[in-house]
Each structure stands twice: as structure tokens, then as C-alpha cells.
Amino acid sequence: MARKKAGAAGAATPAIAALTAAGAEFTTHAYEHDPSHPSYGEEAAQKMGVAPEQVFKTLVADVDGVLTVAVVPVSGSLDLKALAGAVGGKRAAMADPALAQRTTGYVLGGISPLGQRRVLRTVVDASAAGHRTICVSAGRRGLEVELAPATLTALTSATVASIAR
């Protein structure tokens, strides 16, 4: 996998800037986003020709009053109870979308686990380790970044746990 900047994909996002600053190996994938598609993650997988199990969505949850990022395959859903347990919490719920956008600096459908405005604790689903590379949002709709799961967990100081169902 070659390290690339946004290049033809457009201006660098904070996620791409963070990867570049860290000297990480990654590849960007741009595609034409269809606003009428019902699922950002499934759309990304389809348009990139990548298995949905290899494309991960970034969700923001509230665990006992603390915003927490969950990175799970688009082919599944987040198990809120498992997420709470992974960070030593008792109760988790999806965060208010406006708060998630304000806190991360990204819009829904383009929230990346990398380069967030405020660094949030992050949990990556354990299934990521089963892939040589995974794709996550690069910080805007229609732009994904492909990288090794270990790179993602290292750069986000993530906990790895089974949080998807």
C-alpha cells in the first residue's frame, strides 16, 4: 500500500493531514456520493467494489456522559452494551448528531476516526484485525482512506473489542 495524499480526490481533510503527518501508509478512494443513498457505508463499499465487511463506519456514542467513537463494519451494527463494557461504562446511547458533528468537526456520513477536532476515546471492532486493510471515512462524504487496522488503532489510541453484531 502506498502512502498518498488526497491528490485528485481534492484538498486534504484533517484525517488525511493526520495520516500524512504521522508518516502512515494509506490510500485514498474517492467516489461520487449519491445523497439519496440510504447508507453512507454501504454506498462506499458498493462504489469502491470492496466487501462491506472491510469498510468500517465511524459512529459517535455517549457512554456514561462521555463521547466515544465506535468503528464497526458497515455490514453490521453497533452493540451499545458491548461498547459500554469495552470502555468500562454502564450505559451507552447514540450521541446527538449535532453534538457529534460539532465535536469531531466532520459532517454525518463523513465522520472519520482520524483528525477529529477534539480527540475522543475510540473503540475499533475486533473484526478489523481479520483484514490486511480496512477502509474508513477520510473526513467527507465520497472519500475513504484504506489503511492497516494496526495503523488505525495506533493513531487513535483505540481499544480493540467485539462491539459489532
pLDDT in tens, 28-44: 999 988 888 888 888 88
Render pLDDT for 116-144 as a digit per residue (tens, 0 to 9): 999 999 999 999 999 999 999 999 999 99
CB half-sphere exposure, 40, CA atoms < 13 A: 20
Q: What is the pLDDT of residue 146?
A: 97
CB 58 within 8 A of CB 111: yes
Backbone angles phi, psi at 66, to 5 degrees: -115, 125
**Cβ-based neighbours of 37, under 8 Å, separated by 6 or more:** 43
Work out the pLDDT band at 6, boundaries 50, 70, 90: very low
Taking the model in full, what pTM does it have? 0.90
